Each structure stands twice: as structure tokens, then as C-alpha cells.
Amino acid sequence: MDLSSGILDEALERLHSSGPEFEGFLANHGPMAVEALVRHGQADSVHRWLDQYATKLEEVPSPQEAISDADWQAALGDPRRVTDWTTYFSRLVAERPWRDVLAEWWPRLLPGIAGAATHPVIRVGHVVRTLLEDGEEAPRLAELAHALGYWAARHTTLPVAVNPAGTASPDEALAALPRIADQQVLPLDGLAQLPGTPGWTAAADALRVPYGDPEAVREQLAALVRAAVHRYLDRGHGNGILMVHTATAPNAVLRTLPALPRELWAVSLGAAWAASAAITSVYGAAEALPPLTGAGTLDPEDVFERSARHGDEHVIKMTDTALDVAASAVDGDDRALAAAVRAQRLISAVS
């Protein structure tokens, strides 16, 4: 990624003057989208995109009460404390190496991966990728503090325990998940139906997690991302926007693994699977769509350029993940790229 222009850092600084949500609960996707745009050669469009996107953002919420090392648990999962959390993490990353902060807080935050429809962990994944691959500039460290603070404030555990210890591949496990009875609901109301959905726990526990073999864990997590992207192509129309997160959330965890102690990798796979499985059951369509037609050439650069022109933040994020999947395959992955095109068609373009 070419960061010589400073556009990413400029965009992050602009975004840090806004809160992590707007209209009550909608997530600010700006930091995720601008990172993907810069990474995939669309830096020239970032400020223009942000000029339009920023019109719906809101001011940073007022602080409530300072969070300390001794009392943080009382503020966990309290969205009113999001600015307090950002301030707290800003202090931590200023005083200590960011990897140490992440390693300490990742296992604390991971059980709440479902919070805010997984947007906080996705935001973490984007900034960790930049920190690992492109350097530790101040706006990026500030973005990590914002992302972790958002996660802590929206920390939400699933209403049912998931303990994957079966033999199923991600493809098999996703296909076996039952759908909830009423999918015309907001995410939290949908998650609340999981305990009463017959067979859901057994299906969620069927995934194979290769405990004790970190490299195999990484491979299984990559396989989960690939399976979720492929499934979006066929069944993402259950909810074109929210089904994006079945792939982007586990991909955020996959991007974060290299910054984490290897002993945290297996539990990270388990949490990523639980989140992806839950959203799949809440919003996955019952019937598959016909094969995609009229997509033209499925060239990664072209597909991303089309998503950038489309403009919707979810399309940009989905395409970013689809390109990761395609790049990891020896001969590319047309199904992954087609899933990105499907997202372009399912999700309304920015007007």
C-alpha cells in the first residue's frame, strides 16, 4: 500500500473528530473503508468519498467518567462510556507497545465479538493490518485506541455458548446451520432467538478447531473466511448488508492473528466462527440465488474499482475481503470475486 501521500493518516485524523456511531446505533465505517480504498489503489478517491460520508456522522459523545485499570470491568459493554474507553486506550497505547496492549485486551474483548454487529472487531482488523504492514504512525495508533474503545463499549456476548469441537469443515458447518424463525429483526433481536432455535447449538459446535496447532488454526480460519464469502454469493440476499459481516468479521480476526500470541489463535477462531455462524442463522437466505451472470471480467483490480465507484461502505469492505480470498488461492478465486459483484448488486449504491 502506497502511504507516501499521507492520505490514509489524513483521513483517519478527520474521522477521529466523529463518534463511532450515528443515528443511535449505526456504525461509522469510515476508518475501515478508507483503509481499504488506499490499500487497493483508490487513494485519490478517499477525501471525495469521505466528504460525502461525513455528512451523516455525528460528534464524539461526551465523556462520562474516567476508566482506570482497577474499575474497567464496570464500564465494559456500556455504550455511554465509549469516549471514556477511547481515552483509556489512547493512554495505554501511548505508554506501552501497541502489541502488548492488544495481547492483554484481546482475550478480554473477544467474548463480546458480537457487539455492534461485529463492527468493532472489523475496525480493529483494518488498523492492525496497517500497523503490521505499513508502520506505526500516530494516527494509526490513535485509530487502534478508537477501535478497541468502541469494542469495549459495545461488548456483547451471544445468548448461547458456542464450543466448537466437531469434525466439520467451515463449508459443511455453515451449510448445516438452522435459520431462526423470524429474520425480519434487528441483530440483537435475531441473536436472542438462537437459544430457542432447534439444533442451533449442535450445528455451531460441529466445526473442527485444531487445538494445539496454531498453523492449522490459521488455515481453518482462512477456510472460514473463504466459505463465508462463497456463501454470500448464493445466500447473501437474506440481508445483503448484514450478511457481509459473516465474512468480514472472521477476516478481521485472521488479519489480527500475526499480532497475537499463538496461544490465543484457537480461541480467536472459535469466537470468529461463533459470530459468523450467528449472523448466518439470523440473516442467511433459505434458497440460493441463480448463478451470477453479466459480471464481465472478474479481475481483482477491476472488481475493486467498480466497488469504489459504487461507493457503499459495505460493498467496499466485502470486496476487500473477497480480494483477500482470491489472492490466497493459487489460481485466483472467481467465486470470491463474484461475491463482491453480488454485493454491488444487492446493496444500494451511495447516491
Mean pLDDT to the nearest integer, 154-176 = 98
Residue 4: the pLDDT is 65
Separation CA 92–CA 115 (nearest Å): 22
Residue 333: the pLDDT is 95
The 10s digit of each residue's pLDDT in 332-346 is: 999 999 999 999 999
Going by DSSP bridges, is the β-strand pair 26-27/21-22 parallel, antiparallel, or unpaired? antiparallel
* pLDDT above 50 for 46: yes
Report the share of the chain in percent with pLDDT over 90. 95
Residue 114: the pLDDT is 98
Residue 348: the pLDDT is 84
C-alpha dihedral, 103 to 108 to 114 to 119, nearest 10°: -40
- pTM of the model as a whole: 0.97
